[in-house]
Amino acid sequence: MEKRRVVVTGVGAVTPIGNDAETAWDNAKKGVNGVAPLTRLNPEDFPVKIAAELKDFDVEKYIDKKEARKMDRFTHYAIAGAEMALQDANFTVDDTNAERVGVWIGSGIGGMETFETQYETYRTRGLRRVSPFFVPMMIPDMASGQVSIRFGTKGINTATVTACATGTNSIGDAFKVIERGDADVMISGGTEAPITKMSLAGFCANKALSLNPDPETACRPFDKDRDGFIIGEGAGIVILEEYEHAKARGAKIYAEIIGYGATSDAYHITAPAPNGEGAARAMKQALEDADVKPEEVDYINAHGTSTGYNDKYETAAVKTIFKDYAKDLLISSTKSMTGHTLGASGGIEAIFSVLAIRDSVVPPTIHLKNPDPECDLDYVANESREKDVTIAMSNSFGFGGHNATLVFKKVTD
């Protein structure tokens, strides 16, 4: 069966560097730092003093106040991103197309804040005071479910939970739904609201977070002085559409999605496999799916978390797949600006990848002052770079050994 072509026709995002995709992208190109002192929680309660929080996000722009109270923040972000993406795509779901439109939006940890607040209610005030919306607010599939309800989609409606690979897996799987003919349009990406007491406590306990209190130096992927990631929040949602369907309605096209790879390390619950073995297989699989040679790739939006093993092993994985060409690749970690938004990161970074193709600009890795000798590739340090990007790759790797890679291409025909 012939594969159907799939393109990106809309983007929507809420991020620590902008509450819409274009603002976030403009700030990414400028190297704007989204990390700041922690305000959502009391910093005196944690060894971590900084985070990449949303700034001035107004949920009532997208959801009625009463309805918003029945949803966790991760769902707020998904609805906002989906609404902006649909508007950007100039696409309306109606009775003529609803059964051919699906939603695939994931979240790494779902409604952690809801769980914490409702448990406290149960503990202090008893069972009768627990909200009847508790479970529907908390479960990770509810972002996808609420987006489907809000916009009336009646095709496949599902959610991926693969930790920090969630957004990339979601978009990759949604791509395959359209490619094989099961939908014409998919609303897809990732969303996360993880800046909560127990989430922060857990990441502090497993020593994944940076303890550097300086927002200007803490999040520094590929730098030898990095000491952990900075937790962030937000959502990145894309509209994927079958190519002929998009052309027939005169849609603008950002890029074509041409490859997807997904593998497992089968190694450890948190640590990546040595030398990025699983990550390398995901990149290889995505390139084979795309029918693209390694030397045709212009840019990689790296997972680049600012953790010791991840940055070193992702670099090793790139060298395994791209060999001598690895030194000619442009690679950057936009997490240096957004922080690590966990399940949302793949969605946000997919958007940055297609906008890099559109604008012929590669965003920088900021705060990279003292490169790790084992991270010796071109990470577009500190300033964006003009580059004709025809093919871009986006990587995401998650706890549990999940590896996911997407490949995007400029559309010329």
Measure the CA–CA gap between 262 and 397, rounded to whole angstroms: 10
Tokens (6 digits) for 201: 């406590």
Measure the CA–CA gap between 317 and 61, rounded to whole angstroms: 42
DSSP letter (8 states) at residue 43:
G
Cβ-Cβ contacts under 8 Å for 104 (sequence gap 6 or more): 144, 156, 157, 158, 159, 160, 170, 171, 173, 174, 177, 186, 187, 188
Provide DSSP, 193-238. Answer: ---SHHHHHHHHHTT-B-----TTTS--TTBTT---B-BB-EEEEE
Contact 91, 187 (CB under 8 A): no
Which residue out of 164, 204, 219, 375 is catalytically annotated?
164
Measure the CA–CA gap between 202 and 205, rounded to whole angstroms: 5
Of the candidates 306, 413, 282, which has an alpha carbon nearest to the alpha carbon of residue 370?
Answer: 306
What is the H or E stretch that residue 282 is in? helix 277-290
Cβ-Cβ contacts under 8 Å for 224 (sequence gap 6 or more): 370, 371, 372, 373, 375
Contact 10, 101 (CB under 8 A): no
CB neighbourhood size of 133 (10 A): 15
Is 164 among the residues known to form the active site?
A: yes
Cβ-Cβ contacts under 8 Å for 263 (sequence gap 6 or more): 278, 279, 281, 282, 285, 403
Using the structure block, give the residue that is written with the tokens 């918003």. Answer: 68
Measure the CA–CA gap between 354 and 376, rounded to whole angstroms: 25
Catalytic residues: 164
